[in-house]
Amino acid sequence: MEYVRRHGRQIRVLETHAGIESCRYQDPLTIARDQHALQTPVGRVWQFNSPQEVYALVDATVDFLSRSLLWEAGTLHSLEWSLYELLDNVFQHSQAPAGFFMFQVQAERRRLSFAVADQGIGILESLRGSKYMPSSALDAITLAVQRGVTRNNETNMGNGLWGATEIAARSLGQITVSSSGSAIFFKRERGDAITVPRVGVLDAAWPGTIIDAQIDASVSVDVATMFGTLDAPVNLRLENLEDDAGALVVDVKQMRIGAGTRATGESARLHLANLLKASERQLVVDLSGVGIVSSSFADECFGKLHKQLGPEGFNARVAFRGVNDAVNVVIRNAIAQRSAA
Ligand SMILES: Nc1ncnc2c1ncn2[C@@H]1O[C@H](COP(=O)(O)OP(=O)(O)OP(=O)(O)O)[C@@H](O)[C@H]1O
Ligand SMILES: [Mg+2]
């Protein structure tokens, strides 16, 4: 739509319904205008206009995912890496002025779906000048998802698309790469790939690229094994939380989710549980500046986490900091009640 409008045409949607309109496909959100929506970026179409915006969007997405799904070790970190790569590819290769991104979560199935799209030159055109000389769009896609294949060996590694398909495969998910008027649907765990030689495009000169993937959070993806002898990407998200003693510090106030309801308690618990799975380190929950927490928040977050880990597990891995007397009473009561239940 953005492409058609940019070329001076108008679009009118004749029949629609509120459910589909709420994802804002007709008027995508932007980082500049809709900063407030980054707290809950799910279920909306985002337009990103620069590499800086890629950073803000992926950061907000991974924060949100850490609060809304339980991720087995390594999977969220690999996904984060892969999202940066896929969104950045739009500026590296597509020649389109902007890209589009959307994700959805299916909490019961612990699944994430996301799509990254641009209306750029497509993978075939991008690889045309390279040593690979693909003869068709399907050829180009097949090449691009291989490790080390890039249009430019000097500036790029050729890991982005390979990594994304690899993560989808390792997490028993799936991924479709649609570009230059063809598409391949990869289901690598079964070794399957379905090819679609002809997909309709608006303008053959700007056929674009769409990556559409499903990732299963209940399967662990070991980044180190995936990268083999290469250096695995460092988990900056975890490193940023480390204090001088090497513990991971979660500042509840900074999470800006509030500490009043069951829903926010569940978000906070998922986030803590994800950190415990992703790292062996001790977790310090910093409640400085939090005047009071509700009993339902405390039960949902700390009561349930305590129950899941057991008293020894909890005490060995989770510590509190900056807790005032009122908050302390609420948390201790919630833990005691949940353990007795
Ligand atoms: N959105 C896109 N539009 C057009 N071509 C693309 C797009 N994404 C990837 N490509 C093509 O596919 C090739 C492989 O992409 P991939 O992300 O795997 O590696 P890379 O971007 O070249 O290297 P790096 O690992 O450093 O990101 C690119 O070199 C480019 O030719
Ligand atoms: Mg890339």
Q: Residues 215-229: pLDDT tens digits? A: 999 999 988 888 877
**Contact between residue 39 and residue 256 where contact means Cβ atoms under 8 Å apart:** yes
- 142 pocket-lining for ligand 1 (C-beta < 6 Å): no
Q: Which of 48, 84, 89 to mutate to test the pocket of ligand 1 (most atoms within 8 A of CB)?
A: 89
Give the span between the Cα atoms of 10 and 12, in whole angstroms.
7
Q: In what order do the strands lie in the sheet with 111-118?
A: 29-30, 46-48, 99-106, 111-118, 209-216, 174-179, 182-187, 192-196
The pLDDT value recorded for residue 197 is 93
Based on the structure, what is the number of domains in the chain?
2
Q: Which atom of ligand 1 lies closest to the CA of 99?
A: 1
pLDDT averaged over every residue in the chain = 93
Mean pLDDT across 248-255:
92
End-to-end distance of the chain based on CA atoms, in angstroms? Answer: 54
Ligand 1, atom 12, lies closest to the CA of 144
pLDDT at 122 over 80: yes
Single residue among 227, 246, 273 that ends a domain in this structure:
227
pLDDT tens-digit readout, 103-116: 999 999 999 999 99
Res. 255: pLDDT tops 90: no
139 and 159 belong to one structural domain: yes
The answer to whether the CB of 30 falls within 8 A of the CB of 46 is yes
pLDDT of residue 85: 94
Structural domain that includes position 258 = 236-340
Q: Check whether residue 193 and residue 260 sit in a common domain.
A: no
88, 54 contact by CB (below 8 A): yes
**pLDDT tens track for 15-74:** 999 999 999 999 999 999 999 999 999 999 999 999 999 999 999 999 999 999 999 999
Please choose from 3, 85, 87, 93 the residue to mutate so as to test ligand 1's pocket, defined by most ligand atoms within 8 A of CB. 93
**How far is it, in rounded angstroms, from Cα 205 to Cα 16?**
30
Residues 258 and 155 in one domain: no
Identify the pLDDT of residue 235: 87
| Structure token pair of residue 204 | 């053959």
Furthest-apart CA atoms within the chain: distance in Å = 70
Give the domain-ending residue among 175, 208, 227.
227
pLDDT confidence bin for 129, thresholds 50/70/90: confident
Q: What is the pLDDT of residues 167-190, one digit of tens each?
A: 988 888 899 999 999 999 998 666
Q: Tell me the Ramachandran region of residue 290: left when phi exceeds 0, alpha when psi lies from -120 to 50, beta otherwise.
A: beta
